[in-house]
Amino acid sequence: MAPREETAVDPEVLRLVALARTGDRTAFGRLIERHLTAARRVALAAVGQPSDADEAVQEASVAAWRRLDALNDPAAFRGWFLRIVWRKAIDRRRSVRSWFDRFSSTTSDDRPMEFPAADPAPDALLLSRELAAAITQVVRSLPRKLRDPFLLAASGDHRYEDIAVMLGTPLGTVKWRIAEARRVIRLKLDHMGYGDPR
Amino acid sequence: MSTTLSSLDSAIDQVAKGMVAAPDDPEMVARLVSALPERSSRLGWLIPQCAALGAIVITAVVWSTRERPASPALLSSTQIAAAPALPGAITPREPGTAFRTLPSEHSELSEASEPLRLGSDFERSLPALEIADTLIVSDVTPSELPASPALELTPIGVPDLPLTAESFPPR
């Protein structure tokens, strides 16, 4: 779960932002397309369900389209857009309707995750479906303050600094929460019998 | 043990990554672009604020230029000094003298200028009523009354009512 390395300024992003500011929808679409996977992961980390995540991304795209002139540094479009996605996803998570849907509907998100054990190494054999379901359950039971930075870091799309800005939390706090989340997960798995055999 | 912990960490990382993995949706970008609204101008977001500010300014201007009721003018000290002198001392009148007081707009000022005197307030009373003439009623005879035409009454004729053959049933 190494954080993403900082990339250099992409001149194509600058060009697309300039075109989008003139009202070019195609250029804006290409901008979104470059960061769509990261945006959906960010939204999923907040809301947990793909349908809610896609709606949050759509709302964030409209908001970014409207506020494109407020972007001071076009080279920072990615972080700016992902922060909008995160806020929209958090708004959706807080909404009453989302709570109602989460508790009233049974979607595919409630099923244990299919865990691909493609690694032929012996350790990979431990990653059974039951273990994957247990880990999923433990991660979902984490407090939001621990779960949000942990899942954002797990996506591999963001540096710790980006996560700190996105969450509005100091960098040291983000690092501690991620480590604490991992410690709590290990501890709970150990109580469930998936820990270190003694 | 380290191998086990490493495997567990790896499993946690893979599961966490899978929890935020979105399924592929190649049409999503097209849907997002088609849902974009028309972009407003750079200062478009200022329009509502400017409208609200304009409404406040117009309200303030109308409020400040409204017609106010005329307030009583305050006299300066020089104007008060130049004001006409109040009537002088009032000479007392003898009791019983009838006189009429005229209404005055400055009655309060006049009264205020009079020295306060104790005793009966007969000078302020209404003038005495004059004695009315004696009412003389002389005797009048009927012959002295003015003549009037004789009263004539027209006789009232009552026609005979027709008789009917109906009879009242005995009870």
Task: Tell if the CB–CB gap between B12 and A135 is shorter than 8 Å.
Answer: yes
Domains recognised in chain A with CATH numbers: 11-97 (1.10.1740.10), 112-191 (1.10.10.10)
Q: Does A181 touch chain B (CB under 8 A)?
A: no
Which of B8, B13, B34 should be substituted to probe chain A, the one whose Cβ sees the most A Cβ atoms within 10 Å? B8
> In angstroms, what separates the C-alpha of A149 from chain B's closest C-alpha?
11
**A93-127 per-position pLDDT tens digit:** 887 555 665 555 444 444 444 444 445 555 555 55
Does B47 contact chain A (CB < 8 Å)? no
Contact with chain B for residue A4, Cβ under 8 A: no
The Cα A96–Cα A73 span in angstroms is 35
Backbone angles phi, psi at B9, to 5 degrees: -60, -40
Rounded CA separation B67/A96 (Å): 53
Eight-class DSSP state of B125: S
Residue-wise pLDDT tens digits, B105-137:
555 554 555 555 555 566 666 777 777 667 777
pLDDT digits (tens, 9 = 90+) for A28-79: 999 999 889 899 999 999 888 888 889 999 999 999 999 888 888 888 888 8
**Backbone Cα Rg of chain B:** 55
B41 touches chain A (CB under 8 A): no
The H-assigned helical ranges of chain A are 11-21, 25-47, 50-66, 77-94, 96-104, 129-140, 144-154, 160-167, 171-191
Does the beta carbon of A110 lie under 8 angstroms from any beta carbon of chain B? no
Q: Which residue of B has its CA nearest to A109?
A: B19
How many C-beta neighbours within 10 Å does residue B117 have? Answer: 9
Cα distances (angstroms) measured from residue B139 to each of A3, B132, B145, B148: 138, 22, 11, 20
- Contact yes or no for B11 and A127 at CB 8 A: yes
Whole-angstrom distance between the N-terminal and C-terminal Cα of chain B? 132
